[in-house]
Structure 1
Amino acid sequence: MVDPYSVVALSPRTFQMKERQDGVENVKRINKFMDTAVMVGAWEGAPVRLVVIPEMAIQGMIANIPGNRDKEKHFAVTIPGPETDELAKKAVQLDTYIAAELYMVKDPDFEDRYFNVAFIIDPSGEIVYQRAKATSDAYEGGMLGNMNPHDVWDEWIAKKGNGNVMDAIFPVARTEIGNIGIAICHEGVYPEVARGLAMNGAEIIIRPTLIEPAVMTGMWEIQNRAHALFNHAYVVAPNLGPEIMPDGGMQDLFGGQSMIVNPRGQIVAQQKGWTSGDSFVCTTIDIEALRRSRIANGLYNQFKDLRTEQYRAIYDQPIYPKNQYLEEPPGEGWLAREDATRARNIETLIERGVLTPPTGYRRNGDTTPVSDTTEKVVGS
């Protein structure tokens, strides 16, 4: 039986990495605030069993030249590594699970390729979960040096899931406090990743971070509530605090508004607006109540109603090409290449009748439809 417990979602200030070791110092700073947040979180009346840290909280936004392999190699991290070691000490000390993220992460199965990876550390200090970000925005990879598993699709599925796509792309940590999956930042803009985690058993979906203007316009809230409601799961969504600049000033690129949403899509804890310091939200969740609701033969248990054959047809035709960087890593032409890929995708969707262009629309650049391109595209 899983007793009710408190969840704490941190919104720490961020500090950009200037040197490789800065990430460890950032973790130590976050850990100090975590002590306070967990102490206050326990005032809920139940012990804190899960602490969640936003995407990019540990490294900030590394200044990078897209495709600069030397610079990417210099800043690349490992899991486990010194950052996770510091978090592991805190997990043991506080007797709690800690969920966090690192980007530009080296992978032993893919030399010279880096991924954005979420992870969970258990109360014994062991890393019990890792998941690579599978969907990113148009410019994230080129700016941060991260690939998606889809870019090395064939090998990723074989090596990470032993041929099983669900295990390779939507892994879920089955823990003593519930089944947990993480949809990283921009992945939460789309419905599929959260649904994939839920269909692989996730009861808690962690959705860390979203950048402006998506927070101020309400997209962040709508998405988090929808993921909880459509997947009948808790959503824990921490966002970043302000970035502290070298001159002592601050800039707010993310807008805060961390929240925790219950399985009915109702916000049960929310940070309203932006603060100038470290902050957090917390609440008590009840996994056993969720499990009773999920197996009830009623309206809110939607899993039993899924007519999967008719939904599968939506995605029968590919849109974004897979295996782009299977044979060679991306180079300095990364951003231009991604821009051209997405332009082709738009033309493909127009040809299929999915999109209707406005009056006077003209094609720009390389608009060869994806269906006419090869799956394995190398170089940049």
Structure 2
Amino acid sequence: MIKRYKALALQTECKAVNTCKTRDESYAIMQRSLVRILDEIRGSKGFIGPDLKLVVLPEYFLTSFPFGETLQQWKNKACLKTDDPLFDQIKAFCIANSLFVSGNFYELDDNFPDLYFQSSFIIDDEGQMILKYRRLNSMFAPTPHDIFDEYLKVYDYESLFPVADTKLGKLACIASEEILYPEVARCLVMRGAEVFLHSSSEAGSAQLSHKEVAKRARAIESMGYVVSSNSAGISGIKFPFASTDGLSKIVHFEGHVLSEALTGGSMVANSYIDIDALRDYRSKVSMQNYIARQRFELYAPSYTNITHYPPNSFKDQKLSKDLFIKTQAKVIQKLSKK
């Protein structure tokens, strides 16, 4: 067990593959991006020092996000399987540099050939992919919830909320705007999560944005660290480059920011993670022990019996981005009647 170590929320530019016409063209961009990012991590560790053990990368760091593409077009252009050679490169890098690396990508699964998922991963310092989390709340990307019954025939329920018990503590991933959904963090805490690895691509606003508030709230209520990595801009896509840029950070389990980057490519968002201190904090009888004071039975019937966004929304439906909009519109219409 490494009781105290440094984590880095690496702020790095995302090279979009949206304008690519072929798979070969987009894959070449992914390869170049990965080489650059691994060099940035190597250089960051050289500067920060040997205490750096954990690096979190921004959301969809290899591709950017679909911006007008159909599900099939994005699947063909930007999605990977976990046995792709790019992951072999990351695994070899983790071994060579004694690092854990976490990131986020668009994933293919042979069990669901018509879909892709937005997935977060952790690769440990022995080159093993020890955790894979598939985003459960998304506006325009398929999720396990959209095919819930079929998904649970292939994977068990526990796979939805994975937590890895490691030498760096109990690690879990939260994808992008899911930091705004306290239920995701809560379900991970139920399974022991201590450090939340948050890959994001968001506005680095001078104001206290929704996500900024949520990062601190999740840290406080979950009594855990949040390592949140944002993009340093997205190039190669038709909107202003720095729209998603800045303020990668590490948040302490009491909610204060330990370190924070400004804009642009940066390794400034690095700080110590003290697992012993966190576990001591969680062990105390106090008003601030929000985990120990949880009364889940009070809330369980409400979550069981009340539905907003329906499961299995893809069942017997033609898959298209319009389906996401129509489903949400139906939910809003139903809620307005209440």
Q: Normalising to structure 2: TM-score of the pair?
A: 0.91
Q: How does 1:1-380 map to 2 (within 5 A)?
A: 1-17=1-17, 18=20, 19-42=26-49, 47-67=51-71, 69-70=72-73, 72-103=75-106, 105-137=107-139, 140-141=140-141, 147-161=142-156, 165=157, 167-212=158-203, 216-245=207-236, 251-272=241-262, 274-275=263-264, 277-315=265-303, 316-326=305-315, 330=319, 334-352=320-338
Change (3 A) 1:246 1:262: closer
Counterpart residue identity of residue 314, structure 1 = S
- What is the CA–CA distance in structure 2 between the aligned matches of 1:350 and 1:250, rounded to whole Å? 36
- Is the CA contact (8 Å cut-off) linking 2:79 and 2:116 kept in structure 1? yes
- Is the CA contact (8 Å cut-off) linking 1:183 and 1:205 kept in structure 2? yes
Deviation at 1:207?
Answer: 1.5
Deviation at 1:108?
Answer: 2.6
Deviation at 1:329?
Answer: 6.5
- What is the CA–CA distance in structure 2 between the aligned matches of 1:329 and 1:117, rounded to whole Å? 23
- What is the CA–CA distance in structure 2 between the aligned matches of 1:4 and 1:221, rounded to whole Å? 25
RMSD of aligned Cα (Å)? 2.2
Change (3 A) 1:56 1:14: same
- What is the CA–CA distance in structure 2 between the aligned matches of 1:175 and 1:327, rounded to whole Å? 41
Deviation at 1:244?
Answer: 3.1
Deviation at 1:222?
Answer: 0.7
Deviation at 1:214?
Answer: 6.8
- Is the CA contact (8 Å cut-off) linking 1:16 and 1:62 kept in structure 2? no
List per-residue Cα deviations over 1:63-83 (Å, max 9, x = no partner). Answer: 55224x255224321112122
Deviation at 1:217?
Answer: 4.6
Structure (1 or 2) with the larger CA radius of gyration: 1
Task: Tell me which moved more, 79-88 or 263-272.
Answer: 79-88
- What is the CA–CA distance in structure 1 between the aligned matches of 2:175 and 2:136, rounded to whole Å? 8
List per-residue Cα deviations over 1:257-282 (Å, max 9, x = no partner). Answer: 0010011011111113x22x344410
Counterpart residue identity of residue 333, structure 2 = E
Deviation at 1:178?
Answer: 0.7
- Is the CA contact (8 Å cut-off) linking 2:79 and 2:105 kept in structure 1? no
- Name the % identity: 25
- What is the CA–CA distance in structure 2 between the aligned matches of 1:107 and 1:327, rounded to whole Å? 20
Figure out how many residues of one structure are paired with residues of the other and give that number.
330
- What is the CA–CA distance in structure 2 between the aligned matches of 1:348 and 1:329, rounded to whole Å? 22
Structure 2 unaligned spans of 5+: 21-25
Change (3 A) 1:271 1:108: same
Deviation at 1:109?
Answer: 2.1
Q: Normalising to structure 1: TM-score of the pair?
A: 0.81
Deviation at 1:231?
Answer: 0.3
Deviation at 1:3?
Answer: 2.4
Counterpart residue identity of residue 257, structure 2 = I
Secondary structure of the residue that 1:183 maps to in structure 2?
A: strand
Change (3 A) 1:74 1:254: closer
- What is the CA–CA distance in structure 2 between the aligned matches of 1:71 and 1:49, rounded to whole Å? 33
Deviation at 1:299?
Answer: 2.2
